[in-house]
């Protein structure tokens, strides 16, 4: 696993690949048909009811081509991504939001995308939730491990977390740190350098079905276009919270 925990999301990295082209750092997929000049990057994110977060379903799709697309109509299992707008002048973006889980884990999700240049499709299964295990506390100078059992239907996992500093502590007030990591593993390790001050670390592990976001990954969109479609799922048990403390503070006698 790469030690850099701050990375781009799957959609952002894939969109950058299509719009910026290949480089030494970004390797284009090997099997992109020459005639397929429509690029699609889509994800479905669902959070189940109960727990600290409300139930929700969010879908987002970015489409770009050369020439730029003038029409974008997209559906997932008959539900239209009806909010269509220009995406930074580089293509079109479609999305929808709902306050319920539309498709439970194990459900097949079929994506259909129509542009003025043709029709593209993709099919994935919604994965089951991961259930991370983390200690309640971790010393600021120790390694912190967060693990979970493999979730059915998951091709990889997306961990996001925020470290909020204490009001006071050794080194004074710090800026909030945000972490984002995609991993095929069922374990993530934070080294002492990753968590350099005391505070509250809270996050979630999402199960993801779809191609792993890395250079050289083959897409799963077919037809008159190419690209990536993924589904993320989490529930109330997918979150974790850890207090990061300074052991020296606990050794000092109370005032």
Tokens at 120, concatenated: 């593209």
Residue carrying the six token digits 């010393």: 139
How far is Cα 111 from Cα 93, in angstroms, rounded to an integer?
A: 15
- Residue range 200-208: average pLDDT? 97
CB of 58 closer than 8 Å to CB of 96: yes
Residue carrying the six token digits 């990753």: 194
How far is Cα 174 from Cα 72, in angstroms, rounded to an integer?
A: 44
Task: Kindly list the domain boundaries of the chain, sorted by start residue.
Answer: 10-128+210-236
CB of 147 closer than 8 Å to CB of 127: no
How far is Cα 22 from Cα 17, in angstroms, rounded to an integer?
A: 6
Tokens at 14, concatenated: 């894939």
pLDDT tens per residue, range 36-89: 489 999 999 999 976 556 799 999 999 999 899 999 999 999 999 999 999 988
Q: What is the pLDDT of residue 218?
A: 86
pLDDT tens per residue, range 141-168: 899 999 999 999 999 999 999 999 986 5
Segments in 22-141 forming alpha helices (H):
none
Of 4-8, 171-175, 250-254, the poorest mean pLDDT is in 4-8
């Amino acid at each position: 696993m790469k030690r850099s925990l701050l990375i781009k999301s799957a959609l952002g990295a894939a969109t950058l690949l299509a719009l910026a082209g290949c480089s030494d750092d970004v390797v284009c997929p090997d099997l992109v048909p020459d005639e397929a000049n429509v690029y699609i990057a889509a994800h479905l994110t669902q959070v189940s009811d109960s727990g600290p977060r409300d139930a929700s379903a969010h879908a987002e799709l970015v489409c770009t081509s050369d020439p730029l697309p003038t029409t974008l109509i997209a559906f997932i299992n008959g539900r239209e991504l009806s909010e269509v707008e220009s995406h930074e002048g580089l293509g079109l973006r479609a999305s929808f939001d709902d306050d319920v889980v539309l498709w439970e884990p194990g459900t097949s999700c079929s994506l259909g995308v129509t542009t003025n240049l043709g029709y593209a499709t993709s099919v994935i299964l919604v994965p089951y939730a991961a259930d991370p295990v983390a200690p309640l506390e971790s010393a600021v100078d120790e390694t912190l491990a967060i693990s979970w059992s493999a979730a059915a239907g998951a091709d990889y996992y997306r961990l996001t977390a925020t470290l909020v500093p204490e009001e006071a502590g050794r080194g004074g007030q710090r800026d909030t740190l945000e972490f984002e990591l995609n991993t095929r593993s069922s374990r993530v390790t934070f080294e002492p350098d990753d968590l350099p001050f005391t505070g509250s670390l809270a996050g979630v592990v999402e199960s993801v079905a779809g191609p792993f976001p890395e250079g050289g990954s083959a897409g799963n969109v077919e037809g008159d276009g190419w690209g990536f479609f993924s589904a993320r799922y989490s529930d109330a048990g997918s979150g974790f919270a850890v207090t990061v403390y300074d052991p020296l503070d606990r050794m000092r006698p109370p005032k």
